[in-house]
């Protein structure tokens, strides 16, 4: 099988998009060739049957023209997969649909743009973590789980012995909609925790929100003592950072449709680290455990109660919770099961042709 995979860039050193390699790598193990269309290529460890066509340009028009030329140069594949950018599928569809190439879109963000709506109409399958995490209600939505590289995100052994305040890590972009200020509310409410907020800022709104959080921390002695806001670490250091935390917190909200499911939740769970989150679509990963790990979005008191439950766990029980989370990731959210799911969907589309 030949697969064309369109994404923004390939670079193991990029703080936001390095995880794309976790998707391309298992696909390449299953295909004769994967042709990656991207803006640029940086450091990577992809296998030899991966080739690249780049479309970087200083202008949007130049990028679009170079993208379509890259599509033509890639020839006729057995399937086309657009990763997170609906425009890639919109541009490729006029060239591939007349030739009967299955068109797949992977999308896990909450924003339902006009371009996404058009791409959804044009694609054969809309792939996401769950059908509910695709932000447009459509019968084309298919849930494949997250593509977690279990070899990179190895589980820690026994949970560390409690020592001082519970160490809470919030990892990811400082998007305003995540309500990271809820963690600061928890600290100011007197919870015995230390909070580390760490991650990249891609958009202006994320940079402004980080500055708002930093100003609030600087203005409060209680926060200044117990809250750290820091830059992202390289991708290969994230597993170590996750394993060093007592608990990882995700404050991304969930909706009936389009509740984005933070990949860091699954990465932390793969590392056998307890995770607390407010997205109800994470019930399959975090539900049914004691203490409860799901809290009400934006509710600092409920988050404080959930964190207190984790803090009260014995070392043995905290270890057991982490191991159960790792098992759940292995069964439904590994890079291998994700790649199998992609090829299964391609086969189903081809069988209907």
Once rounded to an integer, what is the mean pLDDT over residues 99-107?
97
b/e 340-353 (16+ beta carbons within 10 angstroms → b): ebbbebbeebeeee
Cβ atoms within 10 Å of 240's Cβ, excluding its own: 11
List Cβ neighbours of 286 (8 Å cut-off, separation of 6 or more).
265, 275, 276, 277, 293, 294, 325
Containing 302, the helix (H) or strand (E) segment is helix 300-311
* pLDDT of residue 160 exceeding 90: no
Which is higher by pLDDT, 262 or 248? 248
Assign domain 166-332 to its CATH superfamily. Answer: Glycogen Phosphorylase B; (3.40.50.2000)
List Cβ neighbours of 92 (8 Å cut-off, separation of 6 or more).
4, 6, 67, 68, 71, 80, 82, 103
Containing 228, the helix (H) or strand (E) segment is strand 227-230
* pLDDT of residue 220 exceeding 80: yes
**What is the domain partition of the chain in residue ranges?**
2-147+334-352, 166-332
Please state whether the peptide bond connecting residue 291 to the residue before it is cis, i.e. omega within 30 degrees of 0.
Answer: yes
Q: Which pLDDT belongs to residue 259?
A: 52
Q: What is the pTM of this model?
A: 0.89
Asked if domains 2-147+334-352 and 166-332 share a fold, the reply is yes
Angle at 274 between CA 269 and CA 279, to 5 degrees: 75
Once rounded to an integer, what is the mean pLDDT over residues 266-294?
94
* pLDDT of residue 112 exceeding 80: yes
* pLDDT of residue 254 exceeding 90: no
pLDDT in tens, 114-125: 999 999 999 999
Q: Which pLDDT belongs to residue 256?
A: 43
Pairing of strands 103-106, 125-128: parallel
Q: Which pLDDT belongs to residue 111?
A: 81
With beta carbons less than 8 A apart as the criterion, state whether 128 and 106 touch: yes
Once rounded to an integer, what is the mean pLDDT over residues 213-242?
95
DSSP per position, 36-87: EEESEE-S----TTEEEEE---SSHHHHHHHHHHHHHHT---SEEEEES-HH
pLDDT in tens, 304-338: 999 999 999 999 999 999 999 999 999 999 999 99
CATH class of the 2-147+334-352 domain in this structure: alpha beta
Give the separation between CA 285 and CA 294, rounded to whole angstroms: 10
Tokens 């399958």 -> residue = 125
């Amino acid at each position: 099988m030949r697969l064309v995979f369109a994404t923004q860039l390939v670079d193991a050193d990029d703080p936001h998009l390095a995880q794309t390699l976790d998707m391309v790598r298992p696909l390449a193990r299953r295909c004769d060739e994967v042709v990656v269309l991207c803006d640029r290529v940086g450091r990577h460890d992809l296998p030899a049957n991966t080739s690249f066509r780049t479309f970087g340009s200083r202008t949007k028009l130049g990028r679009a023209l170079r993208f379509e030329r890259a599509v033509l140069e890639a020839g006729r594949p057995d399937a086309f997969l657009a990763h997170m950018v609906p425009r890639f599928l919109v541009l490729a569809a006029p060239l591939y649909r007349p030739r009967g190439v299955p068109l797949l879109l992977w999308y896990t963000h909450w924003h339902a743009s006009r371009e996404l709506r058009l791409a959804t109409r044009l694609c054969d399958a809309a792939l996401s973590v769950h059908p509910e995490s695709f932000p447009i209600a459509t019968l084309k939505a298919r849930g494949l789980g997250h593509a977690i590289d279990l070899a990179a995100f190895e589980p820690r052994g026994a949970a560390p012995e409690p020592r001082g305040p519970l160490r809470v890590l919030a990892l990811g972009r400082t998007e305003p909609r995540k309500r990271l200020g809820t963690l600061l509310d928890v600290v100011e409410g007197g919870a015995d925790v230390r909070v580390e907020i760490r991650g990249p800022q891609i958009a202006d709104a994320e940079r402004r929100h980080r500055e708002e959080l930093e100003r609030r921390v600087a203005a409060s002695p209680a926060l200044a003592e117990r809250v750290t806001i820091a830059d992202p670490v390289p991708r290969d250091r994230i597993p170590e950072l996750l394993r060093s935390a007592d608990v990882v917190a995700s404050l991304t909200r969930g909706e009936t449709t389009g509740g984005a499911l933070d990949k860091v939740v699954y990465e932390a769970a793969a590392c056998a680290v307890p995770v607390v989150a407010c997205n109800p679509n994470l019930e399959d990963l975090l539900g049914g455990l004691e203490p409860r790990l799901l809290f009400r979005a934006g509710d600092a008191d409920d988050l404080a109660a959930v964190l207190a439950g984790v803090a009260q766990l014995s070392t043995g029980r905290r270890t057991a919770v982490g191991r159960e989370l790792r098992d759940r990731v292995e069964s439904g959210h590994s890079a291998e099961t994700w790649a199998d799911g992609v090829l299964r969907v391609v086969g189903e589309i081809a069988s209907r042709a």
